[in-house]
Chains A and B, each alone.
Chain A
Amino acid sequence: MRRIITATVLNQSGVLNRLTGLLTKRQFNIESITVGHSDDPGISKITIVVQVEDDRKLEQLLKQLHKQIDVLKVKDLTDMALVARELALIKVITTPDTRSEIKVIIEPFRAAIIDVSLENVTIEVTGDNEKVEALIELLRPYGIKEISRTGLTAMPRGTQKTVYNLNQFSII
């Protein structure tokens, strides 16, 4: 199953290496991983999208991440109300005929053209995985030259549904 996990970590050199090494060593398959500063420059936030087999593997993953000295907090967001976004840059081959057509296609996605040349345009799109995938599929017939994606970053929504079924793990 696919889980979205965030880790709040001290911004020390090698922390990302430590976490990815840990996941590799214990055979967790990372789908995407993103890192960036939090509002405190000494603290970074890592969002990991990972495939795990079952609840026991998931519990093990959370505990092992938590065990790292530089990790302050680990949270499994999957079952929470959350906002999750990824960004993709898509370079599409264009002709003068197709350029306006593409503009129409990307509009409902609230994507934007951020670079134009004679042969192609570069489109920026932000959203969840499905939205990005959907746009890419629509653009594919025109000829995609290059795609660059960031992977997912996420946080829980300000308001959570009153009842949600979180597994109780015995971390403490």
Chain B
Amino acid sequence: MKASWVADEEKSKVQMMSGADMLMEALEKEGVDVLFGYPGGAVLPIYDALYKKNIRHILTRHEQGAIHAAQGFARVTGKAGVVIATSGPGATNLVTGIADAMIDSLPLVIFTGQVATSVIGTDAFQEADIVGVTMPITKHNYQVRRVEDLPGIVQEAFHIAQTGRPGPVLVDIPKDISTALGAFSTPKEVTLPGYQPTVMPNLLQVKRLADAIATAKKPVILAGAGVLFAGAENEILTLAEQHRIPVANTLLGLGSFPSDHPLFLGMAGMHGTYAANIALHECDLLIGIGARFDDRLTGDLNHFAKKAAVAHIDIDPAEIGKNVETLIPIVGCAKHTVSALLRESTSSGDTTEWVYHLSELKSSYPLWYKKDGETLKPQRLLEIIHEETKGEAVITTDVGQHQMWTAQYYGFSKPNRWVTSGGLGTMGFGFPAAIGAKIGNPELPVVAVTGDGGFQMTLQELSVLQELKLPVIIVIVNNQSLGMVRQWQEIFYEERYSQSLIPVQPDFVKLAAAYGIDAAVVTTEEDAKVKLANALESNSPFLLDCRVTSDENVYPMIAPGKGIHQMIGVKP
């Protein structure tokens, strides 16, 4: 389609263009320079428009790969990841990633093709009601009905995805809308009367929190992913240091507070440190910041922070009071709220004893694993990855044992280097997310830590790695089982390992070779050090099949239904 200029009677000039061209124009306006996607019938006009543009498109080998890559991109850049998929199966293949992004608040803008408006609702070829399907798992979604609306919708979609509590927004574009001609126009500003996120906190509430801090003897800060989204790491650090308040992280909040800081207690929750969980159990003031008190964090709510006044800072009012009764609710962005709090709070309570008590716990009950010096322990493997990357790398994971070991042993000290599937717990997430993370931040080494189970769910994306020569290192923590399932069966199902052992594995080295990717088997610690160093050195795609001991469990642990103080496996 060649764009043509026509005179408009009222305004000076209006450019007529096709819906597909409008989409490209609107994407450029939003500053989008990379798309993740997979073409198909209903998005052919869009891909044709893309052909003429200078926007980078990453062709994954499955739509799930595209959306997880976009999530990795969004997580490390803070910008919306953009995804294109075709109608029907293309769109439905995105569902897992959309749900994952929704629960972990990742900004995504997803464009799906749709059959032509004339056949919508007739069960046409490759038709699926993706707007209906994704309604409960998107922050908002649209179906474009008039071509003129398209630029405005795209503008709104990016605005909604990237402001307030971030989240995925889906725009469904019928094929005839992509080909129809219309005038391109966008309003100067997005006006959404029903969407006005509260960024600045209520100062009366902030004052209440400042007063609570002034008298608290056992305060603790629980910093979640909201701190990272707001870029409030420095504010939290100042708050903690100024008032001598210990800090625990949620799983997704890792990296928002330096892991080597004396006030850092570690991760809290099901596989958190003893010190962090006891701090949440015994505290008299709990300051939750950008954390949503997920059940994997709180354990049995009857035992969670029962002695504490709970203050909750969150940009999403619906999160406050959802799970944990809150005394001091503060709606606002973490950065602005903590800044206001720092201005407001001049005196602190005497926390000396509390800080001493917790640091005692921290040194008396550290994370542990049995070293035998011969076999490769998965925990040691993660320590080695930390040593070899100097803790600088972007690390992505799936869900399960390897994820928890990474959270426990990698030691994140800088923000936005930890990409994991928290709320949804998606197997197959880590490897494609690493591709997106590398594209989003090419400067840093990127390591995808996956399990032998999860890697096999999205390993077709090796093809992307090979094509783009992306220096992503895949570390398969290979324990020949679905480790976390096996662990639960061991502890709660009397060792009945129903369908959790995978003794027969593909030859991952040969598999990588088939895709033209260097790979090696790792069996010892020494092996791991050398080969990882080589892989990092090579600055090319690399796969390490790390054969770790298969009977290792993640400890400590809060059993389901138990309180946060009732941990098992605290001591060897």
A residues touching B (Cβ–Cβ < 8 Å)? 9-10, 13-14, 17-18, 21-22, 25, 56, 59-60, 63-64, 66-72, 170-172
User: Which B residues lie within 8 Å of A63 (CB)?
Assistant: 317-318
Residue B503 at the chain A interface, CB threshold 8 Å: no
B160 touches A14 (CB 8 A): no
User: Which A residues lie within 8 Å of B331 (CB)?
Assistant: 170, 172
**In whole angstroms, what is the CA distance A46 to B317 when docked?**
22
A170 touches B192 (CB 8 A): no
Output the nearest chain A residue to B164 by Cβ-Cβ distance.
A67
- Please, could you name 15 A-B residue pairs with CB atoms under 8 Å apart, sorted by A? A9-B194, A10-B194, A14-B135, A18-B135, A21-B135, A25-B136, A60-B321, A63-B317, A63-B318, A66-B317, A69-B194, A72-B193, A170-B321, A170-B329, A172-B202
A67 with B192: in contact, given A17-B135, A170-B329, A170-B331 (CB under 8 Å)? no
User: Which B residues lie within 8 Å of A170 (CB)?
Assistant: 317, 320-321, 329, 331
User: Which A residues lie within 8 Å of B135 (CB)?
Assistant: 14, 17-18, 21
Min Cβ gap B301→A in Å is 12
**In whole angstroms, what is the CA distance A60 to B325 when docked?**
12
Output the nearest chain A residue to B318 by Cβ-Cβ distance.
A63
Residue B198 at the chain A interface, CB threshold 8 Å: yes
**In whole angstroms, what is the CA distance A59 to B202 when docked?**
19
User: Which A residues lie within 8 Å of B160 (CB)?
Assistant: 69
Min Cβ gap B492→A in Å is 26
A72 touches B194 (CB 8 A): yes
User: Which B residues lie within 8 Å of A22 (CB)?
Assistant: 136
User: Which B residues lie within 8 Å of A18 (CB)?
Assistant: 135
A60 with B322: in contact, given A21-B136, A170-B329 (CB under 8 Å)? yes
- Scan residues 363-417 of chain B and give those whose CB is less than 8 A from a CB of chain A: none
**In whole angstroms, what is the CA distance A8 to B329 when docked?**
25
Min Cβ gap A165→B in Å is 19
- Counting from the closest, the 5 A-B pairs by CB-CB distance are A63-B318, A170-B329, A69-B140, A72-B194, A69-B195
Output the nearest chain B residue to A12 by Cβ-Cβ distance.
B142
**In whole angstroms, what is the CA distance A9 to B193 when docked?**
10
User: Which A residues lie within 8 Å of B322 (CB)?
Assistant: 60
Output the nearest chain A residue to B169 by Cβ-Cβ distance.
A69
Residue B316 at the chain A interface, CB threshold 8 Å: yes
Residue B131 at the chain A interface, CB threshold 8 Å: yes
User: Which B residues lie within 8 Å of A172 (CB)?
Assistant: 198, 202, 317, 331
Q: Which of A9, A59, A67 contacts B321 (CB 8 A)?
A: A59
Binary A-proximity of B274-316 (CB < 8 A = 1, otherwise 0) = 0000000000000000000000000000000000000000001
Min Cβ gap B105→A in Å is 13
User: Which A residues lie within 8 Å of B31 (CB)?
Assistant: none
A67 touches B193 (CB 8 A): no
User: Which B residues lie within 8 Å of A56 (CB)?
Assistant: 321, 325
User: Which A residues lie within 8 Å of B145 (CB)?
Assistant: 13
A171 touches B317 (CB 8 A): yes
Min Cβ gap B184→A in Å is 22
A69 touches B317 (CB 8 A): no
User: Which A residues lie within 8 Å of B316 (CB)?
Assistant: 67
Residue B506 at the chain A interface, CB threshold 8 Å: no
**In whole angstroms, what is the CA distance A64 to B317 when docked?**
9
Min Cβ gap B95→A in Å is 15
User: Which B residues lie within 8 Å of A72 (CB)?
Assistant: 193-194
Residue B572 at the chain A interface, CB threshold 8 Å: no
Residue B132 at the chain A interface, CB threshold 8 Å: yes
B192 touches A69 (CB 8 A): yes
Min Cβ gap A62→B in Å is 9
* A-B contacts besides A14-B132, A72-B193, A170-B329, 17 pairs, CB < 8 Å: A9-B194, A14-B131, A14-B135, A17-B135, A18-B135, A21-B136, A25-B136, A56-B325, A59-B321, A60-B321, A66-B318, A68-B194, A69-B140, A69-B160, A71-B194, A172-B198, A172-B317
**In whole angstroms, what is the CA distance A13 to B117 when docked?**
15
**In whole angstroms, what is the CA distance A167 to B550 when docked?**
55
User: Which A residues lie within 8 Å of B136 (CB)?
Assistant: 21-22, 25
User: Which A residues lie within 8 Å of B131 (CB)?
Assistant: 14
**In whole angstroms, what is the CA distance A69 to B136 when docked?**
13
**In whole angstroms, what is the CA distance A71 to B192 when docked?**
10
**In whole angstroms, what is the CA distance A14 to B136 when docked?**
12
User: Which A residues lie within 8 Å of B193 (CB)?
Assistant: 10, 72
Output the nearest chain B residue to A8 by Cβ-Cβ distance.
B194
